[in-house]
Amino acid sequence: MRLNLVLELLDVPGQLLDALDPIGKLGANIVAVIHQRDVKTERGTIPVHISIEGDEETLKRVLKSIEEMNIQIIEVDGVVMKEKITTILIGNIVDQDLRETVNVLNSIEGVRVADLNLKMSDNPEESASRIVIEADYGIKKDLMENIKEYGNSKGFLVINEI
């Protein structure tokens, strides 16, 4: 059987080879690799499309080994595994709050803060922060509610996506 994957690689030399290495070693065939360095994600990483062939067990082992190498799998056979969630906080935000918020978010399974922006205002109450999160597919609604609760508990106005 054949499996189409989209992996997310760092833009550094050797990354692609490292990612492809276990595929052959575990006995799967690489059918195609599409690697465009000029197409980048939010964090400057590169999405790489890979098609591999093999029996079911082999392909499962390949997926597991890729995950063990801490390489993000964005898509499997067209099914999105990760989605991007943007949220904005308004209020008197200080760097302590940001560190805490990022730590809280990153500690949730399947959640990673991908981008963080802070815009300070003359009136501290009016400062705003934008957080872009990458999360496993399917947890968006719960995650947004969590963020809202957490932000509200700190006195921030939380603006979530629709």
Amino acid at 75: E
Using the contact rule CB under 8 A, the part of the chain among 32-40, 55-63, 72-80, 86-94 near another protein is 86-94
1 binds another protein (CB under 8 A): no
Distances (CA, A) of 14 to 19, 21, 44, 49, 75: 9, 11, 16, 16, 22
When binding is defined by CB under 8 A, the residue of 121, 137, 142, 149 that contacts another protein is 121
Query: Rounded CA gap, 37 and 152, in Å?
Result: 40
The stretch near another protein (CB under 8 A) out of 17-25, 48-56, 64-72, 82-90 is 82-90
- Interface residue with another protein, options 15, 72, 86, 92 (CB under 8 A): 86
CB nearer to another protein: pick between 51 and 92:
92
81 makes contact with another protein (CB under 8 A): no
CB of 158 to another protein, least distance (A): 9
Q: Which stretch binds another protein (CB under 8 A): 13-21, 62-70, 75-83, 85-93?
A: 85-93
Confirm or reject binding of residue 117 to another protein (CB under 8 A): yes
Residue 122 CB neighbour total at 10 angstroms: 6
39 CA to centre of own chain: 16
Whole-angstrom Cα distance, residue 90 to residue 127?
6
Tokens for 143?
A: 């995650």
